[in-house]
């Protein structure tokens, strides 16, 4: 367990570390230094050591990290020993793609139910997930659901989140390009692909300008 509060930036890097360690263990790598690991995950070694320091002594000076031990520690820290049930709200193009994928490479997360406003979709399945009517969301019992994925139009996102909250959901992965006004005890991760693409274009162009100036 962490001995102090873990910063958000550190928590956001833990899944990257865990996924990379899974590959290393599969490939037979038994130990690794922070500098070598940093090159793999593209995070500087100082940051890696600082991130891991929040959880106590995970490595040894002169030895580095035991990849198997570190992977198992992160698996427990990230609750990968438990099945995380997720619902999806909005079965459009993006929602359909997510349902077809349904975390196939992650046996610990599963979209178990989907909702949509279109009555013609209700009762049908995308992959193995059945679609339910949006009107039923607020009155359904979703207290065993870890989080909801929102792939609805911007003008429907707030209402969809509130209905999901009424059914027992307290975590959201929001693909809609709007900020949700929800209580502080509700955790929201915003995934705005337009913003991410604009940032990427900025960094690419900025790098090109610096290169030409040299």
Q: Which residues are annotated as a binding site for NAD(+)?
A: 90-95
Q: Is 150 helix (H, G, I), strand (E, B) or coil?
A: strand
Strands 84-89 and 147-150: parallel
Residue 7, token pair as written in the block: 């910063």
Residue 51, token pair as written in the block: 């991130």
Ramachandran quadrant class, 32 (left: phi over 0; alpha: psi -120 to 50; beta: rest): beta
Largest Cα separation within the chain, whole Å, is 63
Residue in 16, 100, 3 with CA at minimum distance from that of residue 53: 3
Residue in 188, 167, 171 with CA at minimum distance from that of residue 79: 171
Annotated binding site: 90-95
List of residues 6+ apart from 9 with CB closer than 8 A: none
Strands 187-190 and 171-174: parallel
């Amino acid at each position: 367990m962490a001995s102090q509060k873990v910063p958000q930036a550190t928590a956001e890097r833990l899944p990257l570390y865990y996924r990379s360690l899974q590959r290393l263990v599969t490939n037979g790598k038994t130990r690794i230094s922070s500098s070598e690991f940093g090159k793999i995950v593209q995070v500087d070694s100082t940051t890696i050591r600082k991130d891991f320091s929040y959880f106590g002594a995970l490595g040894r000076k002169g030895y580095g990290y035991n990849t198997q031990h570190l992977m198992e520690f992160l698996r427990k820290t990230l609750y990968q020993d438990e099945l995380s049930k997720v619902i999806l709200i909005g079965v459009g193009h993006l929602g359909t793609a997510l349902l077809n994928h349904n975390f196939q490479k992650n046996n610990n997360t599963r979209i178990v139910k989907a909702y949509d406003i279109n009555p013609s979709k209700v009762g049908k399945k995308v992959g193995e997930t059945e679609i339910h009517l949006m009107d039923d969301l607020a009155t359904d019992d979703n207290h065993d659901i870890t989080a909801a994925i929102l792939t609805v139009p911007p003008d429907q996102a707030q209402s969809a989140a509130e209905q999901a909250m009424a059914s027992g959901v307290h975590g959201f992965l929001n693909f809609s390009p709007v900020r949700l006004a929800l209580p502080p005890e509700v955790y929201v991760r915003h995934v705005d692909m337009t913003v991410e693409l604009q940032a990427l274009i900025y960094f690419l162009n900025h790098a090109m300008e610096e290169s030409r100036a040299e």
